[in-house]
Structure 1
């Protein structure tokens, strides 16, 4: 039941996701979970013979792959080499615990399980924290049941694993583990697949899509008002701007503004919507030779960022390079070429 439910969920989510990062994160998470389920049942794992080590190696970084799946799904994060370090680190620690000095085995596995618990807790924090910027209604509704499922499963499972290191090994652990996996997989199918078109698909609505009963077809009017507030009045410059403040300035209920930005402009996250305007304006300043003496930090502060770190991350997400590298290249391209003056 556990393996079948997880395979079905994996296939459905993989086919629904338009984003390459989410597809990869889904595959890593579900495959590691399936390997964990098989490896946790000795009679079934024995069928695989020497290949058991491959199952074990894949599942040992499972908490890291769950973390990657959660932050990719709920924060629309790009997949980078740094995104994979939690799973890789857990795998390395697990290898050390299995093949390292016997005297260090217990503390090594304690570290491994504790790190897995920390990653699970951090993923839950990310899911809650990112909710205020989420523009996808289906994903906003998904957070509560997803949190309940994952919190109960991850925390209880990590606690049992830590207890096993200290000799607390329930006789029916394998059966309980399989039940928990089956429950998670079946509940995941019920929770996720109902919302998957809006949750994993393209954000922008197709032209002519019918409006909800409480949303009259006046989107063009409100879209013009939104552009007035954002582009002309430049409200994006306000540090810490929230969607509630923007909704008040536009004159729309918050839920309708979320739908407007998501359906008409294709943004799934409020922070990415605002940061797009901030980064576009910052690029113009960075590319201007007259502003070459200004620090990157001062430019970040002038464009609504409270510190340099968030500005650097947002700039890299939009442009694929750091502000400093962008400035160096842009100014070099606009500088006159020596020897061409005559």
Structure 2
């Protein structure tokens, strides 16, 4: 039976290895992909993980006093960074907003109060803050996992789908299990063993991230491309299938079907989902199924809005006719594609048409 001292030594060794590995991962991401939002958030998550490994080591913060403040801040905000990192991995057009910074600041403030002001743990308010932080961890991990699962189906880059799910799954499992151990009291009942398990979990997370980086040449599949590259040439059979798919979208207007899924479109074309993803991604150059559908829907909507004979047709009708389920998603997709609201686009297009006819 290992002694408490042995467990503590193994814990310290594991945490040191984790810190070194995570700092190396962050350095690689910044060196190779600093212009990409997912890479920057991945580096921030790695640094937060390293800070977490240090601050959760028994007695470290107490020994270095206020010098531990930056570490506590970085560690406390790790859950929010993980959530943003997971969104950036799966949403090609995701961009952090000021509201995200405010959320991070609020969580960090609570964590800093709990770690720096209410220490030691027997302070009357400490359990309340600790409980709030544990629930916060579960909330952001659950939110990240839910968003990952929701967006995973529409991802058209097959290697990226597998690797992203692996990285997010390992990190989410670790953070969730750690939060549950706090809620159930396992950490308080056997702190040395819990600390070692915590360290080994961090090793798995760091190893998963490092493995993902090593397995992907250049990182372009995991972190996205800085510029859209032309799709590769397909084999003759696949090129014919891609042509049939393009005909289904541009002539038959299959995108008009409300709630069209990649499974339904694959069945319509007589293909497996895997092959359809490959055709849309490599044959037509799209990385996300919803973006693929919306590109066709917005193109038809732009033509309708610019048509003087349809000036009396409500925008809602145009949105529904092109396959959108409601006006809100249509407005957001249209503005993201054109930089204008549908109303502004129609007004300017009709004005330009009148000028051209004058």
Q: Do Structure 1 and Structure 2 share a fold, with TM-score over 0.5? A: yes
1:34-183 equivalent positions in 2, closer than 5 A:
34-41=50-57, 50-81=66-97, 82-84=99-101, 86-95=103-112, 106-142=127-163, 145-146=166-167, 148-162=169-183, 168=188, 170-172=190-192, 173-183=194-204
Q: Deviations over 1:73-120 (max 9, x none)?
A: 123241131454543442244356568997665434423321221221
The SS at the match of 1:299 is helix
Alpha-carbon spacing, 1:106–1:46, altered in 2? closer, same or farther (3 Å): closer
Give the Cα–Cα distance (whole angstroms) in 2 for the partners of residues 191 and 219 of structure 1: 29
Say whether the 8 Å CA contact 2:69–2:116 is kept in structure 1: no
Give the Cα–Cα distance (whole angstroms) in 2 for the partners of residues 138 and 243 of structure 1: 17
Alpha-carbon spacing, 1:252–1:321, altered in 2? closer, same or farther (3 Å): same
1:184-263 equivalent positions in 2, closer than 5 A:
184-195=205-216, 196-202=219-225, 204=229, 207=232, 216-263=235-282
Extract unaligned runs of 5+ from structure 2.
Answer: 1-16
- What is the total number of aligned residue pairs between the two structures? 331
Q: Give the match for residue 26 of structure 1.
A: 42
Say whether the 8 Å CA contact 1:297–1:307 is kept in structure 2: yes
Structure 1 residue 161, shift from structure 2 partner: 3.9
Alpha-carbon spacing, 1:105–1:255, altered in 2? closer, same or farther (3 Å): same
Residue 270 (structure 1) aligned with residue 286 (structure 2) = no
Alpha-carbon spacing, 1:197–1:106, altered in 2? closer, same or farther (3 Å): same
Give the Cα–Cα distance (whole angstroms) in 2 for the partners of residues 180 and 118 of structure 1: 19
Q: Give the match for residue 3 of structure 1.
A: 19
Alpha-carbon spacing, 1:59–1:249, altered in 2? closer, same or farther (3 Å): same
Say whether the 8 Å CA contact 2:335–2:342 is kept in structure 1: yes
| Higher mean C-alpha displacement, 21-30 vs 293-302 | 293-302
Structure 1 residue 141, shift from structure 2 partner: 2.4
Q: Give the match for residue 298 of structure 1.
A: 317
Q: Deviations over 1:109-152 (max 9, x none)?
A: 42332122122112112222222212111023235533541342
| Higher mean C-alpha displacement, 301-310 vs 318-327 | 318-327
The SS at the match of 2:324 is coil
Give the Cα–Cα distance (whole angstroms) in 2 for the partners of residues 24 and 334 of structure 1: 45
Alpha-carbon spacing, 1:52–1:98, altered in 2? closer, same or farther (3 Å): closer
Say whether the 8 Å CA contact 1:262–1:268 is kept in structure 2: yes
Give the Cα–Cα distance (whole angstroms) in 1 for the partners of residues 75 and 295 of structure 2: 38
Say whether the 8 Å CA contact 2:167–2:208 is kept in structure 1: no
| Higher mean C-alpha displacement, 230-239 vs 8-17 | 8-17
Q: Deviations over 1:300-335 (max 9, x none)?
A: 212211123332332343234544454555556667
Give the Cα–Cα distance (whole angstroms) in 1 for the partners of residues 301 and 66 of structure 2: 56
| Superposition CA RMSD, Å | 3.5
